[in-house]
Amino acid sequence: MSDPSKPGGGSRFLYEPFECRPADCVPSHKIEANERLAEQRWEALEYRLQAMNSLLERLERRLWLTILGVAGAVLAEAVQSIVSTQ
């Protein structure tokens, strides 16, 4: 039978603890690394929000053009019917 304390298959990185050198495991280095990671995630979030915002602006512009086009067609029909009855 296999030993339950040793996992079978898969990546060794999933089971082995992270090995750090003493210079890398200083708490201030971990904090700085987490701050850099948070900053990168924040920048990625801002980029995606900006992209969504531009898409929404384009959609809003198309919606207004559609509404104005329909209103113009209705007004043109009304004017044409008024002109043709006289």
* DSSP letter, residue 74: H
**Stated pTM of the model:** 0.53
Q: Is the pLDDT of residue 46 over 60?
A: yes
pLDDT digit string, tens, across residues 26-42: 777 788 888 999 999 99
Predicted local distance difference test score (pLDDT) of residue 7? 54
User: What is the token pair recorded at 47?
Assistant: 């980029």
| DSSP states of 15-53 | TSPPP--TTT--HHHHHHHHHHHHHHHHHHHHHHHHHHH
User: What is the token pair recorded at 60?
Assistant: 């809003």
